[in-house]
Structure 1
Amino acid sequence: MTQRLSRDVLAQLAPSVHRPDYDRDAKACGIVHVGIGAFHRAHQAVYTDDAMNGGDGNWCITGVSLRSPDVHDQLAPQDGLYTLNERGPNAAAPRLIGAVRRVLVAPRDPSAVVDAMADPGVHIVTLTVTEKGYLARGEGSLYDYIGKALARRRSQGSGGLTLISCDNLPHNGERFSAALGEYLESLDADTARWFQTECACPSTMVDRIVPMTTDTDRADVARTIGVRDEAAVVTEHFHQWVIEDRFAGPRPRWEAGGAQFVRDVRAYEAAKLRMLNGAHSALAYLGLARGHEYVHQAIADPQIAPLIARLMREEAVPTLPSVDMDLLRYADALIERFTNAALPHRLRQIAMDGSQKIPQRWLATLDWHSRRNQRCPALITALAAWIDYVRGEGRLVDDPMADALAALWASEGRGGIARALFGPQGRFEASWVAPEVDLQALTGLLDSD
């Protein structure tokens, strides 16, 4: 059997694999990352690796999993090492990433998580916990660990932290700061005040398509690099990170990997959420309804592709604030990225947690147009596909609102479900109250299934 990747078998790596330029053992951990899944390992960890390759100091990463031990069990036997493997146009050679030093599983050792965040040598905590990860409160939650660490840092004079949400949420820094501040205020007013004065929560926009790694991917990687890598990530060449330039202390030189530091992230995040993420979600529900499995199959469907183009170019673009980018060219580039058959991205992965995603991906756009008495036929078609999807008949709906949505379907049926969700006093009225013409259109699309 092929040997497994670790520091002891690096000599067996194929010569084509790029290796870190820095002495990994000489670097201390300056970052704690919560939610260490494939996206983080293909995105923020790579930017940090770039910074240390460029001569930066002690910025290795302690990863934290709030629930599952899977990533720990992938990385721990490999000494935290894994490979980044690009697929599709302009793909670079495989690359060994050395930025992750260790992974903690919070339920196994909660005190170690607090210790890591409270370490005076740690200056940054980054987060990829998905939209629903910000909802949990109480013991064992994201806020619990960070709150305890901040209280300890305050008492021992370790200085504040920069806490960076890297999830697809509008104004993610502001929203996380408000939620954490409220949580701290309920427990410890002194720490809450210290947090407000000594810490920073900059907003960010992140972009890289990172499908879930499959057994086939891992087998392909092993053939290419010469050893078995259970933590391998497979991704596209494109990547982007826009960060509000507001930190409580030192930071890595992430610009070495191409990160952009700006005064205001909002225009960038709105463009990405409403165009890329909005199109992705539409491809998921429309594609699954037509029997497709992957993004590249859905975008090749002549019944779906025109809707995706219209969603981005005619429905999302007019709603977006001014930004230093050509949005129509951005739409063309996104469609090209979606067609990358060398990077199969499962529609079911994108379809997860739709109730947490569609408010910022679709409903903000629909609300903007509704206030101007304008219609969005592409988004309405996608929204009908989502409503039908969450009915759950014959499929498992992976969504925190799955039971509530199924109950609404059972009580309202096809004739009333759209109004129960998006009408006056509907479940999503805080994000969008559909005008009567859109409620009728949604009901008609559901009746035609």
Structure 2
Amino acid sequence: MSKQEDAGRLSARTLDSLPSSVARPAYELERTQVGIVHIGAGAFHRAHQAVYVDDLLPTHPDWAICAVSLNSHDVRDALRPQDGLYTLALLGRETQFRVIGAIRELLCARDEGASVLSRLAEPAVRLVTLTITEKGYCLAGDDLDVAHPDIAHDLAAPATPRSAIGYLVAGLRARRDSGVAPFTVLSCDNLADNGHRLRRAVLQYATRVDAALAAWIEADVAFPCSMVDSITPATDDALRERVHTALGLADAWPIQREAYTQWVIEDRFCNERPPFEQVGATLSTDIAGYDRSKLRLLNGAHSSLAYLGSLMELDSVGDAMGNLVLAGFVEGLMREHIAPAIALPRGLEPGRYIDAILDRFRNPSIRHRLSQIAWDGSQKLPVRLLSTITESMAQGRSIEALCLPIAAWMQFVRRQAQRGVALVDPMNELLQAVGQGCNGDPLHDVPAFLALGQVFGALADSPAFATALTRAYDVLGDGSPSMVSLAVAAYADVPAAP
């Protein structure tokens, strides 16, 4: 990069030229020390966990990040000339720009494997975090897929790994052999029970490599669970141009996210830990409770908006929230029918959490399409809404309002099938057959859907559920926008109390 190009690009040397409207690191970059290795240096990590670390570094400069990409060199090549700096655009009614400096080193394991292993072995590294998506864990169900090409390679050549699992075990082996305390391994992927699943995979791999090492890992290494949440739209040229205009400097890879962010971490570490609670993260022993709250309240409301809103011919979450009848129904669904029926984690105040969800839904800078949220309904509805219906029935609560979004999904499947539109769903062929066979008569259509045991499970055998679902399907009529609007208005006032 020439001096002229360098002068016009974000870097440590150009930080002082930033306008006052752009926030910058509140610490001296050269005084920081790497204490965290992060595997999976994608946009979500840089928009989420790295921002928490950036907030922490002014008072705890020994927790900076070494960001590792397993295969792609794109992030390294974009940000290394920028000294690891990049711009975060926080999307709200007004967009705010902030330069993040938490990543002090960038490595690509594919061609810098020795450097990655060396960094993992350093005593100063006390925490390894991961955002590698579910497929990066190389699982077959809940177990390690030993036939996966990367795992097969690593088992044959554990000193030169390719997989995240292989790197973790190689790094832990080096620390054990040199008498260095192990690092904590923290999964930050949106994967239920993520810490326990990662621990199982690591132990299964380590057992095949070195049984004594596996025993040491099992006894001494912590794999806390976590829950993360923040919408992070992809970087595009429009964002790069906005950032260039705001900074007066080019940034090869800025990122953007909504202002809202949540990070809940199981308080179980085997080495020193960053005081993340000082910068807004929640330390808890009930990650499952936070996961459950997100799935039922946030995701359950999302699915309700998706199917009812799609039938009303609305395009996005923002459009759906602009419909006062639908917005009122979904808010009531969360406050009166979902939150009271589920076991909330200690410390989560439902009213404030629901307020935050509604604010996110109304964010004009985030355009989340209902058609995308409607994908994979057969997989999502059992955990997002049907589980709440099951618990509500056990508590003697009304399930009438909760059945309306389920009936809307059925009407959505019927409409798409009869229009010849394929569903983005692993059960597409079966759902198409059911939808094409519908004739609009609730007594005919509802039993056809309830026969889908993969979706409804034991609820299919409940007369009370079948009755409530049939009633909701009937009220939706032909699934036209006008009929759906009337149904939503009618169900908005259904009481939830026993």
* Residue 39 (structure 2) pairs with residue 34 (structure 1): yes
- Partners of 1:422 and 1:21 lie apart in 2 by 57
* Residue 41 (structure 2) pairs with residue 65 (structure 1): no
* Residue 454 (structure 2) pairs with residue 426 (structure 1): yes
Question: Which residue number in structure 2 is paired with residue 167 of structure 1?
Answer: 189
Code of the residue aligned with 1:216 in structure 2: it is A
Q: Matched residue of 2:19: which SS? A: coil
Code of the residue aligned with 1:334 in structure 2: it is I
Code of the residue aligned with 1:4 in structure 2: it is R
Which of 98, 107, 126 pairs up with 1:95? 98
- Counterpart mapping for 1:144-183 below 5 A: 144-183=166-205
TM-score normalised per structure 2: 0.74
Residues 323-376 of structure 1 deviation map (CA, whole Å, 9 limit, x = unaligned)? 333313422331122101033345566567777765544454344345557632
* Residue 340 (structure 2) pairs with residue 325 (structure 1): no
Code of the residue aligned with 1:72 in structure 2: it is R
* Residue 247 (structure 2) pairs with residue 242 (structure 1): no
Question: Which residue number in structure 2 is paired with residue 194 of structure 1?
Answer: 216
Q: CA deviation at 1:17?
A: 1.8
* Residue 31 (structure 2) pairs with residue 13 (structure 1): no
Q: Report the structure number with the largest CA radius of gyration.
A: 2
* Residue 84 (structure 2) pairs with residue 80 (structure 1): yes
Q: Matched residue of 1:249: which SS? A: coil
CA contact (8 A) 1:307 1:378 kept: no
Say if 1:148 and 1:411 are closer, same or farther in 2 by CA, change over 3 A.
farther
Q: Matched residue of 2:283: which SS? A: strand
- Counterpart mapping for 1:294-443 below 5 A: 294-302=316-324, 304-317=326-339, 318-321=341-344, 323-346=346-369, 360-369=383-392, 371=394, 375=399, 376-381=402-407, 383-384=409-410, 397=424, 404-409=426-431, 414=436, 426=454, 434-435=460-461, 441=469
Say if 1:173 and 1:9 are closer, same or farther in 2 by CA, change over 3 A.
same
Say if 1:347 and 1:322 are closer, same or farther in 2 by CA, change over 3 A.
same
- Partners of 2:171 and 2:455 lie apart in 1 by 36
Which of 116, 124, 127 pairs up with 2:127? 124
Residues 223-265 of structure 1 deviation map (CA, whole Å, 9 limit, x = unaligned)? 1121122322223333332322221111223233222323433
* 348-357 or 70-79: bigger deviation: 348-357
- Partners of 2:122 and 2:193 lie apart in 1 by 28
CA contact (8 A) 2:311 2:408 kept: no
Residues 58-111 of structure 1 deviation map (CA, whole Å, 9 limit, x = unaligned)? 22212233455443344233222112222325x684221101123334445555
* Residue 3 (structure 2) pairs with residue 3 (structure 1): no
Say if 1:250 and 1:83 are closer, same or farther in 2 by CA, change over 3 A.
same
- Partners of 2:411 and 2:179 lie apart in 1 by 53
Q: CA deviation at 1:322?
A: 5.1
Q: Please, which runs of 5 or more residues in structure 2 have no aligned partner?
A: 140-144, 151-161, 439-444, 480-498
Q: CA deviation at 1:52?
A: 0.8
Code of the residue aligned with 1:94 in structure 2: it is F
- Counterpart mapping for 1:44-59 below 5 A: 44-54=49-59, 56-59=60-63
- Partners of 1:96 and 1:22 lie apart in 2 by 12
Q: CA deviation at 1:123?
A: 1.3
Question: Which residue number in structure 2 is paired with residue 222 of structure 1?
Answer: 244
Q: Please, which runs of 5 or more residues in structure 1 have no aligned partner?
A: none
Say if 1:14 and 1:134 are closer, same or farther in 2 by CA, change over 3 A.
same
- Partners of 1:382 and 1:364 lie apart in 2 by 17
- Partners of 1:360 and 1:30 lie apart in 2 by 37
CA contact (8 A) 1:426 1:433 kept: no
| Higher relative contact order, chain-length normalized (CA < 8 Å, sep 6+) | 1
Say if 1:17 and 1:316 are closer, same or farther in 2 by CA, change over 3 A.
same
Residues 205-226 of structure 1 deviation map (CA, whole Å, 9 limit, x = unaligned)? 3333333333323322221121
Q: Matched residue of 1:61: which SS? A: strand
Say if 1:255 and 1:196 are closer, same or farther in 2 by CA, change over 3 A.
same
Code of the residue aligned with 1:83 in structure 2: it is T
Say if 1:353 and 1:8 are closer, same or farther in 2 by CA, change over 3 A.
farther
Q: CA deviation at 1:300?
A: 2.1
Identity among equivalent pairs (%): 39
Q: Matched residue of 1:426: which SS? A: helix
Say if 1:11 and 1:267 are closer, same or farther in 2 by CA, change over 3 A.
same
CA contact (8 A) 1:161 1:198 kept: no
Which of 291, 301, 307 pairs up with 1:279? 301
CA contact (8 A) 1:34 1:125 kept: yes
Which of 195, 208, 211 pairs up with 2:233? 211
CA contact (8 A) 2:434 2:449 kept: no
Say if 1:213 and 1:315 are closer, same or farther in 2 by CA, change over 3 A.
farther
Code of the residue aligned with 1:377 in structure 2: it is C
Say if 1:238 and 1:251 are closer, same or farther in 2 by CA, change over 3 A.
same
- Partners of 2:173 and 2:391 lie apart in 1 by 42
Q: CA deviation at 1:48?
A: 0.7
Say if 1:10 and 1:348 are closer, same or farther in 2 by CA, change over 3 A.
farther
CA contact (8 A) 1:408 1:420 kept: no
Question: Which residue number in structure 1 is paired with residue 490 of structure 2?
Answer: none
Bigger fraction of residues in helix: 2
Q: CA deviation at 1:46?
A: 1.0
Say if 1:178 and 1:290 are closer, same or farther in 2 by CA, change over 3 A.
farther
Code of the residue aligned with 2:20 in structure 1: it is P
Say if 1:50 and 1:193 are closer, same or farther in 2 by CA, change over 3 A.
same
